[in-house]
């Protein structure tokens, strides 16, 4: 390429630079044109092209000596009228497509200056086609026609250019190389002002285009296989193949090359070809023909045969044929160098192959496809859709033409609804960047305006929630044949199970499964599944704290869908709607799950989460899916009246953490905000009373409600980094979940209220608002303060005060964990906390180093870092700013 | 002492001519700065682009700063694509 360019004289370079300058200016000026301007010019040049179709065809025939005058005229008309029919309504200026439901708008940007190579086989039609595309898309073109078709192309370009300029197109919009040479092409292909190369030409030109380092459109060589299957409409197929293969003497590279015919119809098909003017070669004639039209050295067709008449080719080959012979048909017995006629033949010579089976036919078609025609075109004639499907899967071709002529079919718009073109993209098989019929969209840069969309949100909760004292009596509304009560030994001892039994309808067979009062292990879950199967249960009543209810959720999952793989279902995800692993929807059993909570913290009776202990990994595995949510929740305070103070404090702070984290979650919504806020208010008011006066029925009742209400919030808004830290720390050091949360809470509040090192992507929120929401919480709790920073500080202080009042240890060190011990654990703690899905909805994206800092703050306790928020006043109105 | 810059309002009916004649003359006699008011010009063609290029050349030789005032975004884009924008100053 470099050598080629260096052979150019200074004079020639100046000439080429002049073309580039004109084209560049025209392209720049063209950017100002409107759709109306463009459409007016397009219509004018189309009419000019149509008017001169026959004239240009005659010029092409005279200059190239290829093809058929009438067919070239038809091609010129297709290149204008049919292409116009396709482009006339298309928008190519400004906004060209809108997808309001997706918030997307596509805006056209012209490419600029295009260098376009045109072929010898379809010279003027390709020029007309490209001129229309260029004007429609506001681009300028320098044409580099095939040297042996230069004059006819130059005339076509002149006609289009003069008409375009007359109708307002920029001067210099089309230019044509005079006496084009390969060095000219090389120079222009590498020119920095040429923005795209559109190479409709031979393999050399296409390769040069792709090697230039420029964006390029290219075409590939063809070798179109045709499968003539036994169910085909034979009369139609034979006429179509003859029409196509003889069209312009076979110069269209999509034309048929080898027809593979099913044995059952082979003889009849051959007879029909012969009846309609084809000469069927015998073995000797086939050999003679092959030697004449195919170069044995290269294995490719000889240029002298391209676009010539069948009779002329027969004469040159020494064949005696009737004077009206339109097609030479040569039977072949295989594909490859030993069967010379199995390659591309851009003249009216067609090879045929007799196939004994569908498999053999497909194999031969694949062989033909791979013998120089990858990515181009293939044809199938069949009335069997399954055969067409198999063919389309087996053959690598950008155009698979079914039951119509290959060449005219591939052009598009005549026999089918494909985009009309004179440039066939052949994909990677043909060394091209596209398999499309090259069209106006390839002449555009398409810009996409993507408007911010709000992700669909939800608020999903159990169907029924019964609350207040004696709510358990509502069990009588749920008929069951066989019920399994899942609980723990202590609750059985306390008589809670009997309370439940009394409310279950009399005819129900009731079994009780008592499981350890600890986060469930897989083996415990499987015991439950065994019991459910044994008793063919149709109802589970989970009576207990979070551990029991979580166990029951997983029992239900495994009972209904035994194939559910818990390990797989625990796979991490970022967005529950887009998760990779889906929960099973096919169920072999159906069971109702009623959850009765005996603590006021986890809210497990309404959540879609379940925690399982992975003993081997030393971690908690969180399952999350709305299918895990209990069907019915009973929030009856009589089951929590005897909770010991420590448990009351820990579970109460767990509840508060749920509400605070849901409140600032990036998935928070007005629906979850209302629940989160109410829960926060109830906890601050009633938790100290429930802790200090355990028999206060109102306080117990309100705290029980608060736990459930906070859970409604975080079931839909999720939690945050506090939970990620607490999960890792609690599992490692055997600290109860609520207490682990409490140790982290003041530090996380301060952290979340500060300007993030990294913001969380949150399409549903308008800016960073966590600090403002904390301030609003402080307002609603009546904590005072004027600026956001003051209010956040007051919220942190109130939380610390509450923790003190509940006598909760205020540092990890207070638990007796040594600094060395904690330091040793830190790498694992940080890793596990970072892997925990809980923080994915946190308003700040935590860096691992920040998780480490938070752990150390919690270790040292007290004096959380001061939130570094802005100090503007904030009002309660901002609460609903999500 | 500073002198007021010379100003020329470009007539949208004869943009290229206005640049080739009046503007060129003004560059020859301008001291410091010449302001060309494009507020009435909606679109330019290749002749205008050529005239602007010539004008920029002359202004460079005479050390005159040519300011194009109120150039719309479409025209600015054309000047940018032709690498002409860098040869002028722009003012609203």
Q: Is the pLDDT of residue A867 over 60?
A: no
Predicted pLDDT of residue A864: 64
Tell me the CB-side half-sphere exposure of residue A103, using CA atoms within 13 A.
6
A882 pLDDT band (50/70/90 cuts)? very low
The whole domain housing A520 covers 459-639
Give A172-222 pLDDT, tens digit per residue. Answer: 999 999 999 999 999 999 999 999 999 998 888 888 999 999 999 988 889
Number of independent structural domains in chain A: 4
In A, which residues are within 8 Å of B75 by CB distance? Answer: 32
Verify whether residue A708 is a known catalytic residue. no
Portion of chain B with pLDDT greater than 90, in percent: 90
A1 pLDDT band (50/70/90 cuts)? very low
Give counts: helices (H), strands (E), chain A.
Answer: 31, 23
Q: How far is B54 from chain A (nearest CA, A)?
A: 14
Predicted pLDDT of residue A813: 96
Helix, strand, coil abundance in chain A, percent, nearest 5: 50, 15, 35
Give B17-59 pLDDT, tens digit per residue. Answer: 999 999 999 999 988 999 999 999 999 999 999 999 999 999 9
How many Å apart are CA A328 and CA A335, to the nearest integer? Answer: 18
Same domain, A657 and A596: no
Same domain, A95 and A44: yes
Q: Which residues pair with A140 in a beta bridge?
A: A113
Same domain, A609 and A554: yes
In A, which residues are within 8 Å of B49 by CB distance? Answer: 25, 28-29
Q: Is the pLDDT of residue A104 over 90?
A: yes
For residue A579, give both structure tokens. 């998760």
With contact defined as beta carbons under 8 Å apart, do A140 and A26 qualify?
yes
Q: Is the pLDDT of residue A2 over 90?
A: no
The helix (run of H) or strand (run of E) holding residue A207 is helix A203-211
How many Å apart are CA A668 and CA A108, to the nearest integer? Answer: 38
Same domain, A500 and A620: yes
Say if B81 is an interface residue toward chain A (CB within 8 Å): yes
Q: Domain end: A590, A617, A639, which one?
A: A639
Coil, helix or strand at residue A140: strand
How do A632-635 and A464-467 pair as beta strands? parallel
Q: What does each C-alpha distance from A781 to A253, A439, A688, A801 come to in angstroms?
A: 79, 65, 15, 14
How many Å apart are CA A20 and CA A817, to the nearest integer? Answer: 77
Check CB contact under 8 Å for A25 and B43: no
- The pTM of this model reads 0.84
Q: How far is B49 from chain A (nearest CA, A)?
A: 8
Give A217-252 pLDDT, tens digit per residue. Answer: 988 889 999 999 999 999 999 999 999 999 999 999
How many Å apart are CA A150 and CA A551, to the nearest integer? Answer: 82
Query: Is residue A432 included in any domain, yes or no?
Result: no
Query: Is residue A31 included in any domain, yes or no?
Result: yes
Predicted pLDDT of residue A43: 98
With contact defined as beta carbons under 8 Å apart, do A680 and A777 qualify?
yes
How many Å apart are CA A485 and CA B68, to the nearest integer? Answer: 85
Tell me the CB-side half-sphere exposure of residue A315, using CA atoms within 13 A.
11
Give A363-400 pLDDT, tens digit per residue. Answer: 999 999 999 999 999 999 999 999 999 999 999 999 99
Residue A657 sits in a domain whose CATH number is 1.20.1090.10
With contact defined as beta carbons under 8 Å apart, do A140 and A170 qualify?
yes
Predicted pLDDT of residue A865: 57
Q: How far is B3 from chain A (nearest CA, A)?
A: 35
Q: Is the pLDDT of residue A879 over 80?
A: no
Check CB contact under 8 Å for A29 and B75: no
In B, which residues are within 8 Å of A32 by CB distance? Answer: 43-44, 74-75, 77-78
Residue corresponding to tokens 């402080």:
A778
Predicted pLDDT of residue A874: 40
**Which string of DSSP letters, residue by residue, matches A615-631?**
TTTTEEEEEE-GGGS-S
Predicted pLDDT of residue A788: 96
Give A616-647 pLDDT, tens digit per residue. Answer: 666 667 899 999 999 999 999 999 999 999 99
Check CB contact under 8 Å for B45 and A31: no
| Residue A694 backbone phi and psi in degrees, to 5 | -55, -25
Give A155-164 pLDDT, tens digit per residue. Answer: 999 999 999 9
Question: If we measure between CA atoms, which residue out of A749, A736, A734, A747 comes closest to residue A856?
Answer: A747
Same domain, A272 and A351: yes
Portion of chain A with pLDDT greater than 90, in percent: 88
Same domain, A691 and A743: yes
Query: Is residue A259 included in any domain, yes or no?
Result: yes
Of B43, B46, B75, the CB nearest to A25: B46
Give A311-342 pLDDT, tens digit per residue. Answer: 999 999 999 999 999 999 999 999 999 999 99
Of B43, B46, B75, the CB nearest to A172: B46
Give B57-69 pLDDT, tens digit per residue. Answer: 999 999 999 999 9
Coil, helix or strand at residue A538: coil
With contact defined as beta carbons under 8 Å apart, do A720 and A667 qualify?
no
Q: Is the pLDDT of residue A877 over 90?
A: no
Question: If we measure between CA atoms, which residue out of A112, A114, A202, A127 comes closest to residue A157?
Answer: A127
Choosing from A131, A152, A176, A253, the catalytic residue is A253
Predicted pLDDT of residue A160: 98
How many Å apart are CA A472 and CA A102, to the nearest integer? Answer: 47
For domain B6-91, give the CATH number: 3.30.750.24
Highest mean pLDDT among A375-389, A569-583, A750-764: A375-389
In B, which residues are within 8 Å of A29 by CB distance? Answer: 44-46, 49, 78
Say if B12 is an interface residue toward chain A (CB within 8 Å): no
Mean pLDDT of A766-795: 95
Mean pLDDT of A113-133: 97
Residue A79 sits in a domain whose CATH number is 3.40.605.10
Question: If you measure CA to CA, which chain B residue comes closest to A32?
Answer: B74
A463 pLDDT band (50/70/90 cuts)? confident
| Residue A230 backbone phi and psi in degrees, to 5 | -65, -20
Q: Is the pLDDT of residue B1 over 70?
A: no
Coil, helix or strand at residue A451: coil
Query: Is residue A340 included in any domain, yes or no?
Result: yes
Same domain, A569 and A615: yes
Question: If we measure between CA atoms, which residue out of A231, A264, A184 comes closest to residue A19?
Answer: A184
For residue A98, give both structure tokens. 């809108």
Same domain, A228 and A346: yes
Predicted pLDDT of residue A863: 64
How many Å apart are CA A839 and CA A664, to the nearest integer? Answer: 12
Question: If you measure CA to CA, which chain B residue comes closest to A169?
Answer: B45
Question: If we measure between CA atoms, which residue out of A841, A872, A869 comes closest to residue A664?
Answer: A841
> What ipTM, to 2 d.p.?
0.90
Q: How far is A207 from chain B (nearest CA, A)?
A: 29
Q: Domain end: A165, A188, A218, which one?
A: A218
Same domain, A210 and A233: no
A836 pLDDT band (50/70/90 cuts)? confident
Residue corresponding to tokens 């005058």:
A69
**Which string of DSSP letters, residue by residue, matches A78-118?**
IIIIIHHHHHTT---SSEEEEEGGGTEEEEEEE--EEEEEE
Mutate: best of B38, B45, B46, B53, partner A, most A CBs <10 A = B46
Same domain, A634 and A648: no
Same domain, A775 and A880: yes
With contact defined as beta carbons under 8 Å apart, do A79 and A422 qualify?
yes
How many Å apart are CA A821 and CA A83, to the nearest integer? Answer: 77
Question: If we measure between CA atoms, which residue out of A473, A463, A518, A514 comes closest to residue A638?
Answer: A473
Question: If we measure between CA atoms, which residue out of A565, A514, A562, A569 comes closest to residue A542?
Answer: A514
Predicted pLDDT of residue A204: 87
Predicted pLDDT of residue B3: 65
Q: Domain end: A183, A218, A253, which one?
A: A218
Query: Is residue A450 included in any domain, yes or no?
Result: no
Q: Is the Cα dihedral A678, A679, A680, A682 positive or negative?
A: positive
A253 pLDDT band (50/70/90 cuts)? very high
Query: Is residue A850 included in any domain, yes or no?
Result: yes
In A, which residues are within 8 Å of B50 by CB distance? Answer: 25
How many Å apart are CA A179 and CA A183, to the nearest integer? Answer: 11
Instruction: List Cβ neighbours of A638 (8 Å cut-off, separation of 6 or more).
Output: A469, A470, A472, A499
Q: How far is A138 from chain B (nearest CA, A)?
A: 13
Q: Which residues pair with A717 in a beta bridge?
A: none
| Residue A520 backbone phi and psi in degrees, to 5 | -70, 145
Query: Is residue A438 included in any domain, yes or no?
Result: no
Same domain, A162 and A61: yes
Mean pLDDT taken over chain A: 94
How do A104-110 and A95-99 pair as beta strands? antiparallel
- Using an 8 Å CB-CB cutoff, list residues of chain A that contact chain B: 22, 24-29, 31-32, 112, 170-172
Query: Is residue A712 included in any domain, yes or no?
Result: yes
In B, which residues are within 8 Å of A172 by CB distance? Answer: 46
């Amino acid at each position: 390429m470099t050598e080629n360019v260096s052979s150019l004289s200074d004079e020639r370079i100046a000439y080429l630079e002049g073309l580039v300058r004109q084209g560049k200016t025209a392209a720049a000026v063209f950017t100002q044109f409107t759709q109306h301007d463009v459409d007016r010019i397009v219509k004018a040049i189309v009419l000019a092209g149509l008017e001169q179709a026959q004239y240009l065809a005659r010029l092409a025939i005279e200059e190239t000596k290829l093809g058929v005058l009438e067919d070239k005229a038809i091609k010129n008309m297709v290149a204008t009228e049919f292409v116009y029919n396709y482009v006339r309504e298309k928008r190519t200026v400004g906004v060209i497509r809108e997808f309001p439901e997706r918030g997307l708008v596509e805006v056209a940007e012209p490419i600029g200056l295009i260098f376009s190579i045109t072929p010898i086989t379809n010279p003027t039609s390709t020029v007309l086609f490209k001129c229309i595309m260029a004007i429609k898309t506001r681009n300028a073109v320098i044409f580099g026609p095939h040297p042996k078709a230069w004059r006819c192309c130059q005339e076509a370009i002149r006609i289009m250019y003069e008409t375009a300029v007359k109708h307002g197109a920029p001067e210099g919009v089309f230019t044509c190389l005079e006496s084009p040479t390969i060095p000219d092409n090389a120079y222009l292909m590498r020119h920095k002002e040429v923005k795209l190369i559109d190479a409709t030409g031979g393999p050399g030109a296409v390769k040069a285009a792709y090697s230039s380092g420029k964006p390029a459109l290219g075409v590939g060589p063809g070798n179109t296989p045709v499968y003539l299957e036994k169910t085909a409409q034979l009369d139609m197929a034979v006429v179509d193949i003859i029409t196509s293969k003889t069209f312009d003497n076979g110069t269209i590279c999509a034309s048929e090359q080898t027809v593979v015919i099913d044995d059952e119809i082979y003889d009849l098909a051959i007879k029909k070809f012969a009846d309609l003017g084809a000469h069927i070669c015998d073995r000797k004639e086939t050999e003679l023909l092959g030697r004449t039209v195919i170069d044995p050295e290269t294995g490719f067709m000889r240029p002298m045969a391209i676009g010539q008449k069948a009779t002329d080719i027969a004469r040159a080959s020494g064949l005696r044929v009737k004077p009206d012979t339109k097609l030479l048909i040569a039977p072949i017995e295989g594909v490859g160098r030993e069967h010379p006629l199995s390659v591309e033949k851009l003249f009216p010579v067609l090879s045929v192959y007799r196939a004994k089976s569908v498999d053999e036919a497909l194999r031969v078609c694949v062989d033909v496809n791979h013998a120089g025609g990858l990515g181009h075109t293939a044809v199938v004639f069949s009335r069997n859709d399954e055969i067409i499907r198999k063919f389309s899967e087996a053959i690598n071709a950008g155009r698979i033409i079914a039951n119509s002529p290959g060449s005219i079919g591939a052009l598009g718009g005549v026999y089918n609804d494909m985009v009309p073109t004179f440039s066939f993209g052949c994909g990677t098989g043909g060394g091209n960047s596209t398999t499309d019929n090259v069209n106006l969209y390839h002449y555009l840069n398409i810009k996409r305006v993507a408007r911010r969309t709000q992700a669909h949100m939800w608020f999903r909760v159990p169907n029924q929630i019964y609350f207040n004292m004696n709510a358990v009596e509502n069990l009588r509304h749920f008929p069951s044949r066989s019920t399994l009560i899942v609980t723990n030994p202590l609750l059985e001892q306390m008589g809670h199970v009997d309370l439940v039994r009394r409310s279950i309808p009399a005819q129900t067979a009731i079994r009780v499964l008592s499981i350890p009062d600890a986060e469930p292990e897989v083996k415990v879950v499987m015991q439950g599944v065994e019991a459910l199967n044994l008793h063919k249960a149709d109802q589970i009543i989970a009576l207990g704290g979070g551990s029991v209810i979580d166990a029951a959720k997983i029992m239900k999952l495994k009972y209904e869908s035994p194939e559910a793989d818990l390990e797989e279902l625990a796979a991490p995800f970022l967005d529950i709607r887009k998760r990779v692993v889906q929960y099973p929807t096919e169920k072999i059993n159906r069971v109702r799950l009623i959850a009765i909570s005996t603590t006021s913290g986890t809210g497990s009776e309404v959540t879609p989460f379940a925690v399982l202990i992975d003993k081997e990994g030393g971690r908690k595995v969180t399952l999350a899916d709305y299918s895990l949510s209990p069907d019915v929740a009973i929030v009856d305070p009589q089951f929590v009246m005897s909770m010991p103070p420590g448990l009351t404090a820990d579970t109460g702070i767990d509840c508060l953490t749920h509400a605070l984290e849901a409140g600032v979650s990036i998935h928070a919504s007005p629906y979850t905000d209302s629940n989160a806020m109410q829960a926060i208010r109830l906890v601050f008011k009633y938790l100290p009373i429930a802790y200090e006066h355990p028999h206060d029925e109102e306080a117990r009742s309100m705290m029980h409600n608060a736990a459930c209400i906070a859970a409604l919030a975080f079931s839909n808004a999720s939690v945050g980094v506090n939970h990620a830290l607490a999960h890792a720390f609690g599992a490692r050091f055997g600290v109860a979940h609520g207490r682990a949360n409490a140790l982290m809470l003041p530090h996380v509040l301060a952290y979340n209220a500060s300007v993030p090192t990294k913001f969380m992507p949150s399409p549903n929120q308008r800016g960073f608002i966590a600090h403002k929401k904390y301030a609003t919480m402080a307002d609603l709790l009546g904590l005072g303060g004027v600026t956001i920073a003051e209010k956040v500080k007051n919220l942190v202080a109130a939380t610390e005060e509450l923790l003190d009042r509940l006598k909760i240890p205020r540092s990890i060190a207070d638990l007796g964990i040594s600094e060395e011990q904690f330091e040793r654990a830190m790498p694992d703690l940080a890793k596990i906390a970072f892997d925990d899905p809980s923080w994915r909805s946190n308003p700040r994206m935590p860096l691992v180093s920040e998780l480490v800092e938070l752990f150390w703050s919690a270790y040292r306790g007290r004096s959380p870092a001061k939130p570094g928020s802005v100090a503007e006043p904030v009002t309660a109105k901002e609460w609903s700013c999500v | 002492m500073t002198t007021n810059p010379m100003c020329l309002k470009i007539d949208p009916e004869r943009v290229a001519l206005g640049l080739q004649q009046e503007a060129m003359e003004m560059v020859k006699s301008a001291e410091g700065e010449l302001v060309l008011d494009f507020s009435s010009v909606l679109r330019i063609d290749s002749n205008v682009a050529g005239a602007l290029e010539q004008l920029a050349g002359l202004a460079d030789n005479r050390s005159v700063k040519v300011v194009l005032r109120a150039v719309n975004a479409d025209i600015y884009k054309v000047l940018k694509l032709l690498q002409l924008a860098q040869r002028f100053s722009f003012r609203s």
